[in-house]
Structure 1
Amino acid sequence: MARPSVASHGLLAETLLPTQRTCRLCHHSAHIAYYTHRTVMTLSGGYRLRLAVRRCQNPECLQYHRPYRPEEEGGWALPHGEYGLDVIALVGMLRYRQHHSLTELHQALRDRGISIGERTVLHLLARYEELVSVHLANQDRLHSILSQQEYVILALDGLRPDIGHEVLWVLRDSVSGEILLARPLLSECEADLVVLITEVQKMLPVPIRGVISDGQHSIRNAVASALPEIPHQLCHFHYLREAAKPVYEADRHAKKELKKQVRGVRPIERVVEKRNDDEAAIIRSYCSAVRSSLTDDGHPPLAAPGLTLHERLTLIVASLERGAKKRGFPTELECLHQLLTKGLTTTAALWPDVQAGYAWVHRAAHLLANAEQQAAKEVQENYLSLLDEMRQEVDTSEPLRKMIATFLKVTDSYRPGLFFCYDEPDLPRTNNDLEHLFGSTRYHERRATGRKQASPGLVVRGAVRIVASVASQRYHFKGPELQPCNLTQWRALRHQVENRHEARREQYRFRKAPAEYLVALEEKLSQRTMRS
């Protein structure tokens, strides 16, 4: 290979020669037939590549006169690509590690002296996602990683970025953290999931020791069909969230009623907003504490936002009363005290059922957490004792009985898969790692695109975008690492993604002009009928 030199038009010139001097099929000599040129923009500058192309000279060979291009060419850029693999790697890392928007990506490349348009940056980002997906799906790479462990713990979940569109199913190894398969499906039926699980099972060099998923019935049936002897752990988080839903709804209703009664804090603040004395500062601080309590929301299944609000307002009232015993109430604080007392008194009847319901939920969560590291049989026995206690609660209010009934009903459905995790090493209690992966991807997608909902790109390109997003957090890819070992595999993946793009475009065309879209379909249908 020649030493780089500066060409007359300002680009570095470099000549690449094929290392293969004979035909790969017949081993006959393959002489240099001609030279071709291409321009590639890299982070280190622009290059004018001079490529020597060999051809087989054996007329009887099936590869006769077919070109052999330099092997080193693939390390510079993709076929027909104008930008180097190092530029593609930089675009991907800036997007998925630093979460740059399109405008920021474009400006970052311009700052490095690369002349490029925004649309081309999007194309390079798409190529990065595809190349990373191909790299991670390499069977030799996966085998070398998974062979170092004795088994795989399969985590399975589906992501629906947009209602009415495909579901992106992701199968991931919980031990190594590697994504084994990501594929969009039009349905969530058992038969399709069995195909995915079976495909993953066949490609693994080690056995599957356990499966973790939520309680969706299609997933349960698919795992039972494809992996009948494998422990299938159901996610404790999803179980408690579903079982405690009536308790959470009652808590939310009580919170809403309490917030209705505690309206009028802002007028009290307005009275003292222009005062700078110590008393005004105290009043503003109490009002700020109330507003802070009103705007703090919790998340199911264990957080009780209503009970938290009730507790905090009770503490504020108690603090006001202690202060009044010493020096009396200022007028504004007396109004605040009356406002809070009225709200707590009006909603007092709503809280006992919520408190009792959450007491049961927290006891269940404590047993499932298994801080004592008990065996599965002991945890199950303790949990069954708790359920028996709940069944014996007959002298309670009607709302609490409904809460307990729902909890018991959901538990009966989940119970066969709740306790495998205590005896199987590395089998997690929850599927929250995979859920967090989805949530993190959605969050950064909205942050980078500025969209409130899931972007069309996540719907269409989810199979490669999820993989690229997760992998970029774990690995720092450089240009040569992205060179596809199998161009056919990369082209097939790109073709699949393009087909999903075209389906999305078809929907857009119909929404834009329904009548014209249907007329065009009718013409195609009539032409097909005439040909037949």
Structure 2
Amino acid sequence: MSRRCEQKLTRLQAIVTERATWAEHLRQVKRMYGWLCEVEAILVKEAARTLAEPVSNESVGRRLDAWREQMVQLLETSPLSELEQESLRELLQVLSNLRPYLVQCYEREDFPRTNNDMERSIRALKTQYRRVSGRKNWNAYLLRYGRCVAYAPWWEQDETHRHHLQRQIAQLDRGRWRELRQQTTRAQQEQLTRFRFRHKRSSVLASLESRWTEATQSVSLP
């Protein structure tokens, strides 16, 4: 056998060996992908309509809870790999945290299938800001005004929206107003903190260290 043939044979053997090594890992990935498809089949409204029972928040919630219990049993009894166990625990934790919000839309006929309308609205807001300010980046504008960026254009769309705003304001007492103002302030502060940590991480960390030092020095030791 020539040297070239020996090299090709060695390479072929290496490829076959590598394929066998990755075969089990590929099977694990397929199983994990199958779990995601099962969750999607439960939550997607069009898929849920194919069931015999009526589609409602309660019925979809029952199916989701039953699937979660099934996966918990699988996690406890089946010999899953370390990767599968870690991934399944993370998926179940995410579903547990989001459970109150995942099954609230099935009794609303006007609920959109996609977020295309929201994306178009955001694009229109950006375009409007760019035309007014001449700036391409609207982060500073968004961080300063928060949710009001979206509320103001909605109120100004037509007379119906303005009347709706006036009715809502007329029913608003001082206690509720303070509560809404605090919620808005907290939401803007969280967004601002994320922005600063992402783009000005060094200064944010230095500020936190300085505040921590001042706080520890101000505490009187026994």
TM-score (norm 2): 0.42
| Larger helix share, 1 or 2 | 2
| Larger strand share, 1 or 2 | 1
Highest RCO, 1 vs 2 (Cα 8 Å, sep ≥ 6): 1
TM-score (norm 1): 0.20
Higher-Rg member (1/2): 1
